[in-house]
Structure 1
Amino acid sequence: MKRISVHALFGLAAAAVATLSIVHGVRLQQSTQLNQRIIAAARSPADAPALAASAAQPASAASRPDAAVARDAPRLVRLAHATALSKAGAFDEAFKVYSGLLEPGQSDTVSRHAQYNLGNMYLRQALAGGTRADAGPLVELAKQRYRDLLRAEPQDWDARYNLERALRVAPEEQESAAEENNQPVERRSVSLRGMTPGDLP
């Protein structure tokens, strides 16, 4: 009787391990396929001049290099594709893909990366642009994207740094507007017992 129960327990343990192995094997295969699709999406617009030429001349959707990623592709694949489009200089196409990844009220990892990369794309365009008048709206768009991201993820230090950099490029003009209007600024004097006004750092 003991041998039968030991063999039954061993058989159950072997079946459980085999099931776990199959499940992990399927997950590994899915992850490998997803990684291959991400790599393919990131490489699709590698030829920037061809991409610019295809954008300038109407072509069928199947012949364009950016048609490699469908709208129903996994979100990570579309994010990689949008990043590659942005790096290749196809900003309009990248904007469309990034915008498709941003869903109102959703703050998952892919949405946050899309928001951050969209802000970076605007800021890079502004910094690469020639005139200050052309760069102004792009910097404002970048600042808005970084602020939206920081509302959802306040601890994102990369977004904070890039927002600070965008603010250095185009500072906010609230203070100068208040000075121009000559609006009185309310000041209050606070006194604490045992402290002189010069004690605070």
Structure 2
Amino acid sequence: MNGAQKLTEAFEQLKSALPLAQYPLPLDGVDTLRGLATSLTQQVRDYLLPRASKLDAPLLAVVGGSTGAGKSTLVNSLLRAHVTRPGVLRPTTKSPVLICHPEDEEWFRSERILPDLVRTDAQLHDSRALQIVPFEDLPPGLALLDAPDIDSIDDDNRTLARQLLLAADLWLFVTSAARYADAVPWDYLRQAAERNTVVSV
């Protein structure tokens, strides 16, 4: 068994052990501990395990941030094409949209990364769906993901946004003058710094 296989096995064992950590007593701070356990489980499953199993897997850049900050517009501008649909109503982006080179499509359609999300070819208003868009002009080895709002009034949106950010190799963090001082984005940025996540704002 080589080093990568040993690492994958260790992460599999960790993933199996994490749900055993129970916090049944109504003590101070128990909700924080439960949230931390959930986040850790998601990061092991959605980021560490896929990376350990395929070290040369395509990088995932998640475009996340505040409500109405222009995440979808930024993605379309970077690609110079209308790929993801900006919304007028808030919360806007409901289901995430992942854009990748056709050579990388098989990797992102597999359940090795973000296994909870159902793959689809159409943009849906469903937080359990992940639209995959193959795009020839995006370089192989890099994918962009247009994520839901981190400060959405919709609980499912916020939960999904957090999960997607935990799976990211890079955050493209989008905010606006109106949202710059909000507590939620800064909390996410602090968490990213603690995990040494590469962030561009």
TM category, shorter = under 0.3
Higher relative contact order (CA 8 A, sep 6+): 2
Question: Could you tell me the TM-score, scaled by structure 1's length?
Answer: 0.26
More helix by share: 1
Question: Could you tell me the TM-score, scaled by structure 2's length?
Answer: 0.26
More strand by share: 2
- The structure with the largest alpha-carbon Rg is 1
